[in-house]
Amino acid sequence: QVQLGESGGGLVQPGGSLRLSCAASGSIFSINTMGWYRQAPGKQRELVATITSGGSTNYADSVKGRFTISRDNAKNMVYLQMNSLKPEDTAVYYCNADLKLGRWYPNYDYWGQGTQVTVSS
């Protein structure tokens, strides 16, 4: 059984910073892409940033230059450093991992439970 656990959310003032962490645990053979998505109240879930096992990154235009995604392949962890936070960044942030349970298994998406980020004065 695979679990993704996020941490690091909270309340921060506009212009502040937060660092989110996500750990993937369980019987994992390999992880391809890991990423962060977010969902604000009344809105659809949207991509924030992704990173491949080789370190290639992709960001939503709204966070470019402010957020940085990184990962530790040895620990099956992914991080999201969020700087210059804005009220519109307020959302539940979800960790995602595209992984395999074994050599001959297909890739499958796993999701964390989410962590709340609130940007408000």
Q: Note the pLDDT of residue 1.
A: 86
Q: What is the mean pLDDT of each run of 10 residues along the chain (121 residues)?
A: 94 98 95 97 97 97 98 97 98 97 93 97 95
CA atoms within 13 A on the CB side of 93: 31
- Asked if residues 32 and 107 have their Cβ atoms less than 8 Å apart, the reply is yes
